[in-house]
């Protein structure tokens, strides 16, 4: 990473899904010795604490096709401002989720920071799911299934126009890697959006190296750099059991590290977030520890 100073921001949001526990993800990742391990790579690491989040018990669920929309919007707005401020100070934001709806705030803050200098960012979305539902297509009403759609301007206006503009990212600079579970009504969004989706079949047939090379070209073309949004459910549940929505057939341990190592080699990452770590269903904090390992690989840790 070009920046030598990392700003860690916790976003313990679990309003975007039904399964509880991902609100403890930031703590689990911190417990896995995140700060000290990043410092061992030579970075200056500053932990800015957590964004305030409403609890489901104290908030009405709201519209059935976009549950907790006002509360999620408020949290994402606070996160966007923290991310934008960190980037303006020359720090690389490292956001710890929380469910994947936090990405709406992370991407908004980064996009506005670069927009001020008339630049744009790319977005590398590594996930088992497409996250491109809208209130019209969602089978659950859970907003953690909508954040990528919101980032490219599809979805509830309070989220798509967070900070006053949309889209946050040009779909032609978005690559979705590792997808293997897509809702039926969501598929047209993926096919017609301009986002380049690489499924697990693509990885099986072509190999991860070829897929990542193309994905990195897409998110780098004409951009000031790219943001990495890593959902830990990309990794197979045998290696990452503690995630919000596990899906069999994911990336192996080494494939996940290779993806991060190639991101590091590209030298154009401007921020990274890790989401959907759920210690409630984890085994001895395995998933959070793996999340730290993967962040380390993305930030420069090498075998030799």
Residues recognised as catalytic: 100, 127, 129, 131, 144, 231, 233, 276
d(CA 227, CA 170): 13
- Sheet with 92-97, side-by-side order of all strands: 44-50, 5-11, 92-97, 269-275, 226-231, 122-126, 174-179, 196-199
Helix (H/G/I), strand (E/B), else coil: 173:
helix
Dihedral sign computed on CA atoms, order 140, 186, 244, 170: negative
208: nearest Cα among 275, 272, 254: 254
Q: What is the DSSP track for 100-123?
A: GGGHHHHHHHHHHHHHTTT---EE
64: nearest Cα among 96, 25, 18: 18
Helix (H/G/I), strand (E/B), else coil: 6:
strand
CA dist list (Å): 33 to 40, 44, 98, 295: 11, 15, 18, 12
């Amino acid at each position: 990473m070009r920046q030598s100073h990392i700003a860690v921001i916790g976003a313990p949001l679990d309003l975007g899904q039904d399964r509880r526990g991902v609100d403890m993800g930031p703590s689990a990742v911190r417990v896995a010795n995140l700060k000290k391990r990043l410092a061992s790579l030579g970075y200056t690491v500053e932990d800015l604490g957590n964004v305030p989040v409403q609890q489901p018990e104290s908030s009405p669920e709201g519209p059935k096709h976009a549950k907790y929309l006002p509360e999620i919007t408020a949290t994402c707005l606070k996160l966007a401002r923290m991310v934008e401020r960190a980037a303006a100070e020359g720090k690389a934001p490292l956001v710890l989720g929380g469910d994947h709806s936090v990405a709406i705030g992370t991407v908004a803050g980064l996009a506005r920071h670069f927009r001020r200098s008339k630049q744009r960012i790319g977005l590398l979305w590594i996930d088992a799911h497409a996250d491109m539902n809208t209130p019209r297509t969602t089978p659950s009403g859970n907003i953690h299934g909508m954040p990528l759609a919101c980032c490219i301007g599809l979805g509830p206006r309070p989220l798509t126009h967070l900070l006053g503009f949309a889209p946050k990212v040009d779909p032609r600079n978005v690559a979705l890697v590792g997808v293997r579970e897509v809702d039926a009504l969501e598929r047209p969004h993926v096919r017609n959006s301009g986002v380049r989706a690489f499924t697990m079949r693509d990885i099986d047939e072509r190999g991860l190296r070829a897929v990542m090379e193309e994905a990195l070209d897409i998110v780098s073309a004409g951009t000031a750099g790219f943001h990495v949004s890593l959902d830990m459910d990309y990794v197979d549940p045998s290696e990452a059991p503690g995630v919000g929505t596990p899906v069999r057939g994911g990336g192996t341990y080494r494939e996940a590290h290779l993806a991060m190592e190639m991101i590091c080699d590209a030298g154009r990452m401007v921020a990274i977030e890790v989401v959907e770590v759920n210690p409630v269903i984890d085994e001895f904090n395995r998933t959070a520890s793996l999340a730290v390992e993967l962040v380390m690989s993305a930030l420069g840790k090498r075998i030799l």
